[in-house]
Amino acid sequence: MQLTIWTYEGPPHIGALRVATAMSGLHYVLHAPQGDTYADLLFTMIERRDARPPVTYTTFQARDLGSDTAEIFKNAVAQAYERFQPEAMIVGASCTAELIQDDPGGLAKALALPIPVIPLELPAYQKKENWGASETFYRLVRALSVTGAEPAGRDGRRPLCNILGPTALGFRHRDDLVEIRSLIERLGIDVNVVAPLGASPSDLGRLGEADFNVVLYPEIARAAAQYLQKTFGQPMVETVPIGVAATVRFVEEVAAVAGIDPAPVLAGAPSRLPWYSRSVDSTYLTGKRVFIFGDATHALAAARVAATELGFKVVGLGTYTREFAREIRAEAALHGIEALVTDDYLDVEAAIQAATAELVLGTQMERHIAKRLGIPCAVISAPIHVQDFPARHSPQMGFEGANVLFDTWVHPLMMGLEEHLIGMFREDHEFHADAAPSHLTRHGAGSPATQVERSLLDDKEKPQVAGHPAEAAVRIVPIPDDKGEGISIWDASAEKELKKIPFFVRGKARANTERFARERALSLITVETLYDAKAHFGR
Task: List, for residues 415-440, the tens digit of each pLDDT value.
Answer: 655 655 665 655 555 555 555 555 55
> In whole angstroms, what is the distance from residue 513 CA to residue 527 CA?
10
- Is it the case that residue 380 has pLDDT exceeding 60? yes
Q: Taking a C-beta distance cutoff of 8 angstroms, is the pair 362, 293 a contact?
A: yes
Q: Tell me which of 64 and 112 has the higher pLDDT.
A: 112
**284-307 pLDDT, tens digit each:** 677 889 999 999 999 999 999 999
pLDDT at 257: 95
How buried is residue 155: exposed, middle or buried, by Cβ count under 10 Å (0-12/13-18/19+)? exposed
Looking at 217-294, which runs of residues are DSSP E strands?
236-237, 289-294
Residue 364 confidence (pLDDT)? 93
What is the distance between the alpha carbons of residues 78 and 113, in angstroms, rounded to a whole number? 8
Cα torsion 320, 326, 327, 329 to 10°: value is 80
> Is the CB of residue 383 less than 8 Å from the CB of residue 363?
yes
User: Would you state the pLDDT for residue 412?
Assistant: 83
Structure-model confidence comparison of residues 505 and 144, the more confident one: 144
Q: How many Å apart are CA 245 and CA 198, to the nearest integer?
A: 29
pLDDT at 220: 96
- 30 against 226, higher pLDDT: 226
Q: Is the pLDDT of residue 71 over 50?
A: yes
What is the model's pTM? 0.78
What DSSP designation does 67 have? S
Portion of the chain with pLDDT greater than 70, in percent: 81
Looking at residue 67, its pLDDT comes to: 64
Q: Is 441 left (phi over 0), alpha (psi -120 to 50) or beta?
A: beta
Contacts by residues 431-435 (CB-CB < 8 Å, ≥ 24 positions apart): none
Cα separations (Å) of 48 from 7, 41, 215, 220? 21, 10, 26, 22
Cα–Cα dist 191/198, whole Å: 13
Grouping H, G, I as helix, E, B as strand and the rest as coil, residue 59 is coil
| Res. 443: pLDDT tops 50 | no
Are 290 and 313 a contacting pair, CB within 8 Å?
yes
The reply to whether 373 sits in an annotated binding site is no
The arithmetic mean of pLDDT across residues 315-342, rounded, is 96
CA pair distance 167, 382, nearest whole angstrom:
12
Dihedrals phi, psi of 379, to nearest 5 degrees: -85, 130
Least confident of 38-52, 113-127, 243-257: 38-52
Q: Which of 40, 68, 261, 281 is flagged as catalytic?
A: 281
Confidence of residue 446 (pLDDT cuts 50, 70, 90): very low
Question: Is 482 one of the catalytic residues?
Answer: no
Band (47; pLDDT cuts 50, 70, 90) = confident
56-59: which pairs have CB atoms within 8 A and are 24 or more residues apart?
56/27, 56/28, 56/29, 56/30, 56/80, 56/84, 57/30, 57/32, 58/29, 58/30, 58/31, 58/32, 58/97, 59/32, 59/33, 59/34
Yes or no: say if 380 and 362 are a contact pair by the CB < 8 Å rule. yes
Q: What is the CA radius of gyration of the chain?
A: 28
d(CA 23, CA 198): 5
Name 42's Cβ contacts closer than 8 Å, sequence gap at least 6: 14, 17, 53, 169
Give the model's pLDDT for residue 45. Answer: 84
Mean per-residue pLDDT for 39-53? 85
* CA 324 – CA 134 distance, rounded (Å): 13
**Quick one: pLDDT at residue 154?**
66
> Which of the four pLDDT bands, split at 50, 70 and 90, describes residue 5?
low
Residue 156 pLDDT exceeds 50: yes
Chain-wide mean pLDDT for the chain?
Answer: 84
What's the average model confidence in pLDDT over 161-170? 96
pLDDT (tens digit, 9 = 90+) per residue, 17-26? 999 999 999 9
Say which DSSP state 448 is in: T
Residue 50 has pLDDT above 70, yes or no: yes
Tens digits of residue pLDDT in 213-223: 999 999 999 99
Classify residue 284 as left (phi > 0), alpha (psi -120 to 50) or beta.
alpha
417 annotated as belonging to a binding site for a ligand: yes
CA atoms within 13 A on the CB side of 508: 15
pLDDT at 534: 87
The residue that leads in pLDDT, 2 or 376, is 376
Q: Residue 82: pLDDT above 90?
A: yes
Residue 318 · residue 125 · CB < 8 Å: no
Query: Looking at 19-77, which runs of residues are DSSP E strands?
Result: 26-31, 55-57
Burial pattern 410-423, b for ≥16 Cβ within 10 A else e, equals bebbeebeebeebb
User: Between 102 and 71, where is the model more confident?
Assistant: 71
402-427: average pLDDT: 74
At residue 367, does pLDDT exceed 80?
A: yes
* Among 82-86, 266-270, 368-372, 517-521, the least confident range: 266-270
The secondary structure of 185-220 as a DSSP string is HHTT-EEEEEESTT--HHHHTTGGGSSEEEES-HHH
CA-CA distances (angstroms) from residue 437 to 196, 373, 419, 477? Answer: 44, 14, 6, 20
The pLDDT value given to residue 361? 97
pLDDT confidence of residue 488: 67
Instruction: Give the per-residue pLDDT at 272.
Output: 82
d(CA 227, CA 143): 11
pLDDT of residue 292: 97
**pLDDT, tens only, 452-505:** 444 444 444 444 444 454 444 444 444 344 444 555 688 888 988 888 887 667
Please state which of the ranges 36-40, 355-359, 524-528 shows the lowest mean pLDDT: 36-40
- Mean pLDDT within 298-327: 95
Q: Pick the closest to residue 305 from 219, 388, 405 (CA basis).
A: 405
Can you say how many angstroms the Cα of residue 409 is from the centroid of all Cα atoms in its chain?
14
CB atoms under 10 Å from CB of 346, counted, come to 12
Which pLDDT score is estimated for 281? 64
If pLDDT is split at 50, 70 and 90, which confidence band does 177 have? Answer: very high
Burial code (b: 16+ CB inside 10 Å, e: under 16) for 269-308 equals: eebebeebbeeeebeebeebbbbbbbbbbbbbbbbbbbbe
* Cβ partners under 8 Å of residue 429, min gap 6: none
pLDDT at residue 457, rounded to an integer: 42
